């Protein structure tokens, strides 16, 4: 199969060890992560050929970042070098009734300074069949938004399948336009979208007709309205997370495809080791399932939901599991027994 190309910003993630608080930490653990990089890494672990496109400074931190991608067999041939710094974000992992915290330090990063015309998208997408992006990129700066539009337009002209994780981050939309002014046009150029009804309301103004009604039915109606707004969409996946505490969530998902609607299994996630990247794991699982079994939407939904479930057991941003491990959980074995 041809490559999957993902595009976005990868950052240096720093966090106190274990469940320490920022105020008590004397050391920080180093991880490299970002939504679209997480998707590429997860897909590589599923056996897919992936390339990641981003912009990094020319320094040792960036070299370490590239090394972490290559370690997971993610292609980096089209990573652009330039700019002043690698973006950073800090994560304090929550537990029980204390929630997690994230602090961003990404202003002025090499990626944030990206402008259209910098990346040769014809070359970057030449060997690809699929292009994936997320709503985080156009949220950063006008230049990043324009570069994202340039990438999507090129991918569409080349006949690639285009997927988008809506990934709304309120704290990032600060450059003068709202997500509702930018995202609908970009999303409408693709075929596949992942998100949740709350984000669809923010970006598209689409709401459930009866918020007090059956949640699954309301989700179906939101998906149908989104499909009507963006006729090019063939597949819409919505995740649902119910948070009982920082250590205990319930995770499920639904899928709308070509007028048909499917509900996936629900997983009880406890204890949660690291919830960062759970949505990215779902996205990667859905892409894998849709590519490998395009005529079995329920397989793609179940695979994506199980993959996201497993991510919550793994420290760091990326979902480092195999297809066999995901399918083992899909088969109903969630016992966690030792594999000998």
**Average pLDDT value over all residues in the chain:** 95
- What's the rounded Cα separation, in Å, for the pair 212 and 125? 44
Give the pLDDT of residue 182.
98
Evaluate whether 305 touches 320 at the Cβ level (below 8 Å).
Answer: no
The DSSP secondary structure of 236-254, one letter per residue, reads EEEEEEEEEETTEEEEEEE
Q: How large is the average pLDDT for residues 163-175?
A: 95
CA angle 262, 289, 259 (to 5 degrees): 35
Q: How large is the average pLDDT for residues 178-186?
A: 98
Domains, the chain, with CATH or none? 3-330 (3.40.1190.20)
- What's the rounded Cα separation, in Å, for the pair 136 and 104? 13
Give the pLDDT of residue 134.
98
Assigned token pair, 240: 């649902």
CA angle 199, 239, 12 (to 5 degrees): 75
Report which secondary-structure segment, H or E, holds 165: strand 161-165
Evaluate whether 236 touches 256 at the Cβ level (below 8 Å).
Answer: yes
- What's the rounded Cα separation, in Å, for the pair 71 and 73? 6
- What's the rounded Cα separation, in Å, for the pair 38 and 317? 6
List pLDDT tens digits, range 265-294.
999 999 999 999 999 999 999 999 999 999
306: which residues sit within 8 A by CB, 6+ positions away?
A: 265, 267, 285, 326, 327, 329, 330
Give the pLDDT of residue 335.
56
Pairing of strands 80-81, 55-56: parallel
List pLDDT tens digits, range 55-100.
999 999 999 999 999 999 999 999 999 999 999 999 999 999 999 9
List pLDDT tens digits, range 12-23.
999 999 999 999
Burial of 28 (0-12, 13-18, 19+ CB in 10 A): middle
What is the DSSP-derived secondary structure letter of residue 19?
T
DSSP SS3 for 313: coil
Q: Which of 93, 148, 96 is CA-nearest to residue 124?
A: 148
Evaluate whether 255 touches 234 at the Cβ level (below 8 Å).
Answer: no
Share of the chain above pLDDT 90, in %: 94
Pairing of strands 11-15, 88-92: parallel
Give the pLDDT of residue 198.
95
List pLDDT tens digits, range 303-315.
999 999 999 999 9
Evaluate whether 221 touches 209 at the Cβ level (below 8 Å).
Answer: yes
Chain-centroid distance of CA 195 in Å reads: 9
Give the pLDDT of residue 208.
87
Instruction: Give residue 338's pLDDT band: very low, low, confident or very high (50, 70, 90).
Output: very low
List pLDDT tens digits, range 105-148.
999 999 999 999 999 999 999 999 999 999 999 999 999 999 99
């Amino acid at each position: 199969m041809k490559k999957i190309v993902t595009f976005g910003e990868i950052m240096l993630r720093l966090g106190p060890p274990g469940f320490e608080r920022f105020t008590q930490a004397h050391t920080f653990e180093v991880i490299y992560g970002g939504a679209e990089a997480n998707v590429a890494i997860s897909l590589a672990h599923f056996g897919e050929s992936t390339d990641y496109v981003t912009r990094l400074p020319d320094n040792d931190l960036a070299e370490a970042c590239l090394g972490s991608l290559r370690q997971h067999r993610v292609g980096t041939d089209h990573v652009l070098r330039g700019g002043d710094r690698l973006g950073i974000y800090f994560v304090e992992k929550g537990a029980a009734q204390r929630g997690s915290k994230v602090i961003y330090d990404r202003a002025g990063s090499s990626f944030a300074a990206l402008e259209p015309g910098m990346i040769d998208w014809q070359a970057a997408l030449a060997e690809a069949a699929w292009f994936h992006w997320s709503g985080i990129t156009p949220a950063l700066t006008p230049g990043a938004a324009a570069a994202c539009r340039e990438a999507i337009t090129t991918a569409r002209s080349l006949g690639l399948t285009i997927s988008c994780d809506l990934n709304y981050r309120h704290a990032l939309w600060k450059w003068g336009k709202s997500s509702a002014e930018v995202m609908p046009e970009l999303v409408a150029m693709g075929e596949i979208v992942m998100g949740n009804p709350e984000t669809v309301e923010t970006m598209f103004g689409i709401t459930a007709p009866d918020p007090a009604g059956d949640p699954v039915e309301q989700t179906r109606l939101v998906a149908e309205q989104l499909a009507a707004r963006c006729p090019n969409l063939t597949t819409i996946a919505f995740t649902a997370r119910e948070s009982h505490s920082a250590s205990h969530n319930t995770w499920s998902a639904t899928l709308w495809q070509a007028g048909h609607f499917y509900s996936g299994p629900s997983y009880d996630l406890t204890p949660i080791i690291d919830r960062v990247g759970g949505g990215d794991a779902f996205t990667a699982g859905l892409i894998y399932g849709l590519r490998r079994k395009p005529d079995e939407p329920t397989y793609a939904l179940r695979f994506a939901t199980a993959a996201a479930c497993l991510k919550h057991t793994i420290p760091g941003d990326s979902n480092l599991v195999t297809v066999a491990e995901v399918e083992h959980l899909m088969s109903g074995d969630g016992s966690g027994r030792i594999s000998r």
